[in-house]
Structure 1
Amino acid sequence: MQIMGLIHTLEQRLNRMQTVGLIHTLEQCLNRMQTVGLIHTLEQCLNRMQTVGLIYILEQCLNRMQTVGLIHTLEQCLNSMQTVGLIHTLEQCLNSMQTVGLIHTLEQCLNSMQTVGLIHTSDPSPTVCRYKAVHKVSSSDSRLCEINL
C-alpha cells in the first residue's frame, strides 16, 4: 500500500497504542476478538504475509477474516477503500465499527494514532518497511514482519 503525506512506520504507530489503557498492541486487542467469532488475529495474518516474499497487501491478507457480531471486518473496510482510490485513512475507515462484547473496538484502540494521509492500494513498486513486532507470543519469540507500506 502507498501511504501519502506524513507517515509513521507501523512500529511507531503500534508504540503509540501503549497509551490507550489496558490494551498495549493491536495484536493483543485482536486476541480478545478471537473469542467472539472465527477471526484471525492481525499477528496471524502478518505471519502469513511474511511467508510469501513480496507480500499481499493488507486487504488481501484480511479477506480470510469472518464477520464478528455487529462489526465490519477490516477486509470489508479496505474493499471499499480500494474501490474509491484516494480516500479515508485506516482510522477513518474503522469509525463505523461497533463494539464487540467487553473489548475495545479497533477504532477505539487507534484513536491515539495520528492521521497518516490518504491511502490507496495501487503502488506498482511499494517500499518495504521492516519493523520489529512490538508483541511477543512467547518469551523466546521476537519475530520480524515485513509489510508493504
Structure 2
Amino acid sequence: MSALLDRTEKTVVATTEQESAQARELVARLREKTNESLSLSLKNAAGESVEAPAELTALLGKVVEAMGRGATVTIGTLPKELTTTTAAKMLGISRPTLMQLISKNELPAHKVGSHTRVLTEDVHKYRDARAAMRRQGLDGLRALEDELGAED
C-alpha cells in the first residue's frame, strides 16, 4: 500500500512498485482510446455511479500518470486568505516586492486588523497573468527572430 505521510496540510503519497505498474497499465489502457473523451465515475455506498466533472478527471489523470512514472505525489491545501509572506513565496518574489505590487494595486489585498492578507485566488490569477504576459513576450521575440531571419 502507498505510504501516506501527513505533514500539516500536505499529504505525500509514495507509491509501491506494484502501484506504479498498475498506474502505467491504466494509463496505457486509457491511451488506447484516444478518440474518445475520458470520463470518470465513482460508486457511492449505495452502489450508484456518480460522474466526475471533466476538470477533476483531467487532474486525476495527471496524478495517475505521475504515479506510473514512480513519482511521489504531494497533495496540499491552501487557506482562502494568505499572509503576505506565503503569497510572496508562491509567486517567487520577496515580501517587499509583493507589498509594492499591493500598493500599486496590481494585486488586490485587504487588512485583517493590522495585517495584510491576499486571497489565494488572486495570487493564482496574478501568477497566471504574469505567465501569459511572459509567453506573449517570448512569442513576440520569436516572431521578430523569424522576421529578421536570425538563426540559432
TM-score category, normalised to shorter length: under 0.3
More helix by share: 2
TM-score w.r.t. the length of structure 2 is 0.22
Higher relative contact order (CA 8 A, sep 6+): 1
- Larger Rg over CA atoms: 2
